[in-house]
Structures are given as structure tokens and as C-alpha cells.
Amino acid sequence: MNNNTEIKLPRKAKGQRPVFFDDPAVDKLISMIFGLTNEMSVLYERQDTLERLLKEKNVVTSDEIESYVPGDSVRKERDARIEIMLSSVLQVLEGDVVKPRDKENNISYDEAIALSES
């Protein structure tokens, strides 16, 4: 196998979500907090690395980093990243949301009532 080969892992874990508390909402909240904590940890390490490298090479100063004001295109890119992160964090709640069925299996309300009464 080539070292440059990218390995794709499944995006969703198999099996049931572990249960630790009587209230499932608490378990979901804890999962979301751990997800956010993980994201923050990774971001902090990357930011720290970049700042150290930039300062070490005299590319930028701490004051320049603190006073930076992003332009519109940068704000749009950041907003898109926030959407992706929120989607990742909120996927814990995904199972609670009723998803529309595909048109092939979708039946009207009246048809569903008729089926339940037969």
C-alpha cells in the first residue's frame, strides 16, 4: 500500500449510543459538550502552533494577531466553517428529528389513517 493512500473511515459509529444517565437528553448534552471540547482542543493546538511559527520566523507579532480585523470574504469562510462544526456537534440530536421519507414511500395522511383502520 502506498503511504499517500487516503483511508476513508465511516462517518457514523455502528451500534447503540452508550447510556450513562436516566434522562437521554443529559446523555446527548454530554456528547455535544465532549464534541465541542474536542473541536476546541484541536483548534487551540493549531492556533498555538501557527502563532509560535509565525513569531519564531518574525512574520507577525502578537499585537498584529490581536488587532487583526477580517474582511468580508474571510468572515464568509469562517461562517461556513462554523456551520460545518455546528452540524457535527448537533448530529447527536439527528435521530430525534423526523426526516421526510423519499417520495416512493411517502403516503398521504388520509392513506395512513385508512391503513391504520384496516
Q: Alpha-carbon distance 77 to 84, whole Å?
A: 11
How far apart are the C-alpha atoms of 71 and 89, rounded to whole Å? 27
pLDDT in tens, 26-39: 888 888 888 889 88
85 neighbors 28 (Cβ within 8 angstroms)? no
What residues make up the domain containing 42?
24-94
Write out pLDDT tens, residues 60-81. Answer: 998 998 999 999 999 999 999 8
Judged against a pLDDT cut of 90, whether residue 97 lies above it is answered with: no
Domain assignment present for residue 38? The answer is: yes
- Domain assignment present for 81: yes
Mean pLDDT over each residue of the chain, to the nearest integer: 80
Q: Which of 73, 26, 68, 25 is nearest to 47 (CA)?
A: 68
Residue 28 counted as domain residue: yes
Please, are residues 30 and 20 in contact by the beta-carbon 8 Å criterion?
A: yes
Q: Residue range 77-97: average pLDDT?
A: 79
The mean pLDDT value for 19-28 works out to 84
At residue 95 the predicted structure's pLDDT band, cuts being 50, 70 and 90, is low
How many folded domains does the chain comprise? 1
109 occurs within a structural domain: no
Better pLDDT: 27 or 12: 27
Whether residue 23 has pLDDT greater than 70: yes
Q: What is the pLDDT of residue 110?
A: 67
Quick check: 27 and 20 in contact, CB under 8 A? yes
Q: Is residue 11 part of a domain?
A: no
Find, among 82, 76, 52, 51, the residue nearest to 66 by Cα: 51
